Amino acid sequence: MIVFKKFKINSPKDKGNIMSKRKLTILVLGALLIGQTNLQAAESAEAVPQEQPVSDKQPQQASDSTAVPFGSEDLSATDTSEAGGTVTQAELDGVRAEIATLRDQLTQRLDKTIANSKRSLNISGSTQTRYAASSSPSKNGFLFNSAIISLKGYLKRDYVEGKSISYTLGLGSNTSTYNLQPTDAYLQYSIGQSLDIGKPYLYVQIGQQKKQFGLEATTTEDKQPAINLAQFASKLGLSTRDIGIRLYGDLFPVVDLGYNYRIPLIEYSLALYNGSGPNTADTNLDKDIEGRIVINAPAGYYSPYRGLALGGSYYKGKQDLYKGTTLITKGEGEGDKIRYGTDLSYVSAPFGFTAEYVIGKDEKALSGTTLANAVRATTESKGYTVTLFYEWGEQFYKNSRSQSRNDDWWPTTFQPFIRYDHWDPDTAVANNESNITTLGFNFFFAETTKFQLNYSLSDDKATHVKQNTFAAQFQFGF
């Protein structure tokens, strides 16, 4: 509460001091109002955590005192008489009018420059533009690879235990469609607490989302090291999104509070999908199941084993049987679809590697036109990829990123890598493998921006075609 004390005017000099104090009061109150409004605007634009949030925030404590809106203080006890040169009621009304004018001006400016939503909203996205040239067939050109915009926010915040409900809506376009379609579109609920980083997390996610199989297919578009995915990720349908429900969490977290670092010993995920792909209704009566478990090295922030992880994935579902491109039955003649794999990774600085091995089994129809006369056979395929990288620079060091710098400074990082990608579509057939060796270089020169160079040597033994491909890609995010 603001209290105006009585004082007497003994001279013209004192009268001048009174006027200066009145002006000072108006400026101080205006500054407080602006600061309060900016604070409210900043709180409304609070960022949404990642899928597995790491937070050191404590629950907000309720205040015992009741907040009093500005301007509603009881000023009736103030002496408004003119005797002794005290502040009059008219002068107080003038101060209030000045502050009201400042408030209206500030509100008008915020309405013009700040987007409003009923709940907190975080907007992000990424765009990829590339140039590619290949030797066989000889061709080159610029390519708009993908553009994704993502909206994330909370529908309900729980400040006591962190059992909040959040949403994610992503819209994207790529070279295969060139039209905007939903990518990620799901709700997430924290079944367990999510505020204490020393305790396990548990979430449920419902809607269209990325499959959690291995490393290659799980990595989002903006974080993939190479420009192109490994062959098995696309050939086995692992890189596509699907509609369903997923339960995931972790156990036995290792925490280094000094660096706000958290790594769980065990991460697990169990999902149930339609199995028909993104933005598509289910085509049969069965559902696909998926499971994944990852064991991380229980290492502290400065441990040389930080970033070492071993994972295993399993996927089983049904797919409609085909003879060539003709569907034999619609929803009745399903064949088995099984994928399982293992992966090992050491993602650290300056040296790191990833290795992944995947086997796929697909039941297909060799001949026939109906379910009764269909001749079935199971095709087994396999693929693996190994990536080695070395990086120098300061981008991946938290203590460097947190340093105070002028303007839009960001520590640059250079990352050369080499990748070997092997794919065998049918292990029962000899000399039908496809091998791709990629030499790459990633240049991180801004917080959300990188430039990629890839030179690939491919050898397709089934078609006896060898090909050299060069690609340069500029990826930026916001």
- Is residue 4 very low, low, confident or very high in pLDDT (cuts 50, 70, 90)? very low
Residue 125, domain member (yes or no): no
Closest Cα to residue 357, out of 371, 372, 344? Answer: 344
- Is residue 113 situated within a structural domain? no
Please state the rounded mean pLDDT for residues 311-328.
Answer: 85
Its domain, for residue 104, covers: 7-33+92-108
Looking at residue 147, its pLDDT comes to 86
Q: What is the pLDDT of residue 126?
A: 87
**Range 111-120 average pLDDT:** 80
408 lies in some domain: yes
Give yes or no: residues 162 and 13 share one domain.
no
400 and 305 in one domain? yes
Residues 97 and 135 in one domain: no
pLDDT score at 39: 47
Task: Please indicate, yes or no, whether residues 136 and 224 belong to a single structural domain of this protein.
Answer: yes
Domain shared by 158 and 103, yes or no = no
Q: Amino acid identity, residue 236? A: L
Poorest-pLDDT segment among 236-240, 258-262, 454-458: 258-262
If asked whether residues 97 and 202 sit together in one domain, one would say no
pLDDT band for position 403 (cuts 50, 70, 90): low
Q: Which two tokens stand for residue 150?
A: 């993502």
214-251: b (≥16 Cβ within 10 Å) or e: bbbbbbebbebbbbbbbbbbebbbbbebbbbebebbbe
% of the chain with per-residue pLDDT over 90: 42
Q: Which helix (H) or strand (E) holds 30?
A: helix 12-44
Residues 135 and 203 in one domain: yes
Q: How confident is the model at residue 343 (pLDDT cuts 50, 70, 90)?
A: very high
For 360-376, what is each residue's pLDDT tens digit? 999 988 887 777 788 88
When divided into structural domains, the chain yields a total of: 2
pLDDT in tens, 118-171: 888 899 888 888 898 988 777 788 887 788 899 999 999 999 999 999 999 999
- Selected residue with higher pLDDT from 188 and 258: 188
**Is 243's pLDDT higher than 80?**
yes
443-469 average pLDDT score: 89
Cα torsion 108, 109, 110, 115 to 10°: value is 100
pLDDT (tens digit per residue) in 405-445: 666 667 788 899 999 999 999 999 999 999 999 999 999 88
Is residue 86 in a domain? no
In the beta sheet, which residues pair with residue 342? 312, 357
Are 451 and 397 found together in one domain?
A: yes
378 and 468 co-located in one domain: yes
Domain contains 230 = yes
Q: Residue 21: pLDDT band by 50, 70, 90 thresholds? A: low
> What is the pLDDT of the chain when averaged over all its residues?
80
Question: Residue written as tokens 């009881």?
Answer: 74
Please check whether residues 312 and 191 belong to one and the same domain: yes
Residue 207 lies in a domain: yes
CB 435 within 8 A of CB 421: yes
For residue 120, is it within any domain? no
Would you place residue 247 in the very low, low, confident or very high pLDDT band (cuts 50, 70, 90)? very high
Q: Is 79 helix (H, G, I), strand (E, B) or coil?
A: coil
Whole-number Å distance between alpha carbons of 403 and 355: 34
The reported pLDDT for the residue numbered 396 is 57
Q: What percent of the chain has pLDDT over 70?
A: 76
Q: What is the pLDDT of residue 75?
A: 42
Query: Do 177 and 304 share a domain, yes or no?
Result: yes
Q: Is residue 384 part of a domain?
A: yes
Position 46 scores a pLDDT of: 45
CATH code, domain with 191: 2.40.160.10
Between the alpha carbon of residue 400 and those of residues 228, 256, 307, 412, the distances in Å are: 30, 18, 19, 11
Residues 4-31, mean pLDDT to the nearest whole number: 50
Higher pLDDT, 213 or 319: 213
| Cα gap 368→322, rounded to integer Å | 9
Structure tokens at 469: 């491909």
With bands split at pLDDT 50, 70 and 90, how would you rate the model's confidence at 397? low
Kindly state whether residues 340 and 431 are assigned to the same domain.
yes
Residue 90: per-residue pLDDT: 85
pLDDT at 259: 79
- In sequence order, what are the residues at sequence separation of 6 or more whose Cβ sits closer than 8 angstroms to the Cβ of residue 117? 153
Residue 365 has what pLDDT?
85
Residue bearing tokens 């009061």: 25
Instruction: Report the distance separating Cα 283 and Cα 189, nearest Å.
Output: 28
Pick the residue with more confidence: 119 or 294? 294
Q: How confident is the model at residue 308 (pLDDT cuts 50, 70, 90)?
A: very high
Last residue of a domain, one of 108, 143, 167: 108
Convert the pLDDT of each residue in 47-105 to its tens digit: 444 444 443 333 333 334 334 444 444 444 444 444 456 888 888 888 889 899 998 88
